[in-house]
Amino acid sequence: METTLNALASLRSALVLSCALAAAPLANAQPSYPDKPIRIVVPFPPGGPTDSMARLVAQYLGQQLSQSVIVDNRGGAGGNIATEVAASSPADGYTLYFGTTGTMAINPSLYRHLKTDPIKALDSVGTVASTPNLLVVSPTLPANNIKELIALARQKPGSLTFGSAGNGSSNHLSGELFGSMAGIDITHVPYKGTGAALTDLFGGRISMLFDTVANQVQFIASGKVKPIALTGAHRSEALPKVPTIAESGLPDFDVTIWFGVSAPKGTPPEVVKLLNLRLQTALAMPEFKSKLSALGAQPMPGTPADYTRLIQADTAKWAKVVKLTGATLD
């Protein structure tokens, strides 16, 4: 009898210990992520193409996470202020960063004294979308395609001008790369934004401009500009009849502007994985694709590793262009 009671007591003790051990992880577990609003830091002011795309991502990513995703615009210093804000935030998954080709791959070469290196300070979550730039010319310019434009530039070296949103901007570097690969001398005219450059393009005071597809569709329709070619590897659904520069005579030319999501370095891998999965789900939604198309962009799904490789490859590519042009901003 005593032996039986001792056995029962031992069994009861073992069960109590097992339950306690099983409950320990639950007692120490953090609340399920996300349990509060997420902030996505955007490197440009409200109203531009980057802001529009970031707000679209915030809306659909928030739906997938069943949590609010709030856009925090931190414009200034070519996007570097936002990079610093995001990189210095807690690595807990509640601060994200909406990066672009410019902020992630061009700025590290353009700014010699960059305070925050985005590759070192941020963890990749995933790519979002890509869009080519579009080369448009003044309606008065006697050129209707790339071959005619190059021929005209060779007849009058240095006389053709291209505007940009400023030194080191993607449309500036697109123009420099085009001139270099085409072997022509075209003159850069920097402005304090694309709007001012467009005004001069409409009036024929500059010859050409590289700009986003979304910005130019309305001006093409009204006859204020002539579309010549797209800078990416593929044609745009928004302008299916406009060829690429690559298929128009410069086969290696490819300037694709991309957007992606990052998080502060050290964000838990399981959080990054969840964010990427929810982002991929959003990118696959027909409604999301349709809204991206309206912005002149197309979905660019990918893993965190895919985004890291893209950043590294384009950083090396644009470093060569920056060196070629001698463009620096500090």
- 12-68 pLDDT, tens per residue? 444 444 444 444 443 333 469 999 999 999 999 898 889 999 999 999 999 999 999
In this structure, are residues 182 and 150 in contact, taking their beta carbons and an 8 Å threshold? yes
Quote the crossing angle between the two packed helices 170-182 and 304-325, to the nearest 10°. Answer: 60
- Give the Cα separation of 94 and 206 in Å (integer): 45
Domains belonging to the chain, first-starting first, are 38-131+257-325 (3.40.190.150), 132-248 (3.40.190.10)
Closest CA to 40 of 261, 282, 330: 261
In this structure, are residues 242 and 230 in contact, taking their beta carbons and an 8 Å threshold? yes
Q: Give residue 24's pLDDT.
A: 41
- Higher pLDDT: 53 or 194? It is 53
- Give the Cα separation of 160 and 139 in Å (integer): 14
Q: β-pairing, 122-137 with 187-190?
A: unpaired
Q: Is the dihedral of CA 159, 165, 170, 173 positive or negative?
A: positive
- Higher pLDDT: 5 or 29? It is 5
| CB atoms closer than 10 angstroms to residue 149 | 27
Q: Is the dihedral of CA 134, 325, 204, 45 positive or negative?
A: positive
Closest CA to 53 of 314, 218, 297: 297
| CB atoms closer than 10 angstroms to residue 154 | 13
Contacts of 171 (CB under 8 A, 6+ apart): 133, 163, 164, 165, 194, 209, 210, 211
**pLDDT > 70: what percent of the chain?**
90
DSSP designation for 246: G
Closest CA to 181 of 159, 150, 203: 150
Q: Give residue 19's pLDDT.
A: 44
In this structure, are residues 132 and 311 in contact, taking their beta carbons and an 8 Å threshold? no
SS3 22: helix
**pLDDT > 90: what percent of the chain?**
74
